[in-house]
Chains A and B, each alone.
Chain A
């Protein structure tokens, strides 16, 4: 229900906010809900706030798991 996207922190603005970059667009959002966010971190952004840091290692692990699944022929369409 909650639209949120993973964005990269480009700049800390010093007042508890950060400028994030998401696929080429930038916006200033609040870091009030996360601690120790640094430039280069990815955060999940919802309604103008970073909700959580994205664990990049976990993301890579998940993608590796998908890639590592045995290749099955396409299932017939339903």
Chain B
């Protein structure tokens, strides 16, 4: 796979690791947060933690749109499928998120709800065209990478007069989440961020500049391949050592300072900011999520079906909130690995394979067992 395999070269990765070990000399160590679930996944999958010196610690951030999706929002999707009889189209990532009444979209499907896994919003549009007599709702989740595909679909639906198509909008914004982590004066002092790869492809590197400037934390945008992640860690170590706090871009082959202006314009045409939105683990954040503009109200499933939002509190023992902020490690959660496992997830951090808990359970658990 071109432009993939070359960035997975083991010898080059080990060499970068040696450079990190050489340069990571600060006695207080380096606490770096990889914001994005894809980076969590890469770190776990390749065992990158084994290549880092012990004083460089990676903290898993909340960059998993499934993890930050409140139970109440998935309840809405299930309600549409079960009670309104819609064809509920969704990316596979949401199918096992646990919600109220021990339900998941997968279980609702088993009970007879018409829940369909799609790869692309184009598939959802095709389903709308093929089923003119049925309502089709697309469960729109994701950060800024995934929002433009939804915008394209909504515009195409309007042009084509596909009035049986609508979206349940749960698109959220990356800078808002980063702000929430930094502004709370979180107990965990973070030295820097590995910035998201594909979100940055769309939004550019510019939106991270206020964080570097206002909070004094370096941000290095990294691609998803192991060499990208290792190089970004090295660049962060260098910034911390030099007392710099700047936005640097390791993923130059796909990210520019301004990003994809066409995609941004399409999103801007269809969506506007919600005043506030509840994030699982981070509370209600202002201007952190999107909703369709009034001109597209006919494609907004919340308006079309009149479904309200009912907040549902997390399970008492669930530490997803603290884990999502980087304050606690999964092993510090009382129910990690016992009541809460990938087989029976209690909180979202365990559902998505990129959630900190699932990643730790799948990959990291054995390290502690061995000690």
Please determine if A and B sit in direct contact within the complex, based on CB atoms under 8 angstroms apart: yes
> A residues touching B (Cβ–Cβ < 8 Å)?
1-6, 8, 22-23, 29-30, 32-35, 42, 44, 46-49, 51-52, 54-56, 58-59, 61-63, 66-67, 69, 71-78
- Known A-B contacts: A2-B142, A2-B143, A34-B262. Give 5 more (CB < 8 A): A6-B4, A8-B2, A42-B3, A74-B14, A78-B51
Query: Is B120's CB within 8 Å of the partner chain A?
Result: yes
The total of chain B residues at the interface (CB under 8 A) is 61
Known: A1-B63, A78-B49. A33 touches B262 (CB 8 A): yes
Nearest CB of A to B69, in Å: 12
Contacts of A6 in B (CB 8 A): 1-4, 254
Known: A48-B121, A49-B148. A78 touches B53 (CB 8 A): yes
Q: Give 29 pairs: A residue, B residue, CB < 8 Å, sorted on A.
A: A1-B36, A1-B65, A1-B354, A2-B145, A2-B198, A22-B1, A23-B2, A29-B120, A30-B122, A30-B149, A32-B266, A33-B263, A33-B266, A42-B2, A44-B201, A48-B123, A49-B148, A51-B145, A58-B253, A62-B253, A63-B6, A66-B15, A66-B16, A66-B227, A69-B15, A69-B19, A73-B18, A78-B51, A78-B52
Nearest CB of A to B204, in Å: 10
Q: In the complex, A74 Cα to B11 Cα: how many Å?
A: 9
Contacts of A75 in B (CB 8 A): 14, 17-18, 20-22, 51, 53
Chain A residue at minimal CB-CB distance from B266 = A33
Q: Are B199 and A55 in contact (CB under 8 A)?
A: no
Chain B residue at minimal CB-CB distance from A52 = B201
Contacts of A72 in B (CB 8 A): 15, 18-19, 22
Question: Among residues 139 to 181 in chain B, which have CB atoms less than 8 Å away from a CB atom of chain A?
Answer: 142-143, 145-146, 148-149, 152
Q: Which of B65, B122, B197: most chain A Cβ within 10 A? A: B122
Q: In the complex, A6 Cα to B251 Cα: how many Å?
A: 13
Contacts of B1 in A (CB 8 A): 5-6, 22-23
- B254 is contacted by which of A3, A8, A55, A78 (Cβ under 8 Å)? A55
Contacts of A44 in B (CB 8 A): 198, 201, 254
- Nearest first, the 4 A-B pairs at minimum CB distance are A48-B120, A2-B145, A75-B21, A72-B18
Q: In the complex, A74 Cα to B253 Cα: how many Å?
A: 28
Q: Are A32 and B152 in contact (CB under 8 A)?
A: yes
Q: Are B143 and A1 in contact (CB under 8 A)?
A: yes
Nearest CB of A to B271, in Å: 15
Q: In the complex, A49 Cα to B49 Cα: how many Å?
A: 32
Contacts of A63 in B (CB 8 A): 6-7
Chain B residue at minimal CB-CB distance from A23 = B1
Nearest CB of B to A47, in Å: 5
Q: Are A5 and B4 in contact (CB under 8 A)?
A: yes
Contacts of B266 in A (CB 8 A): 32-33
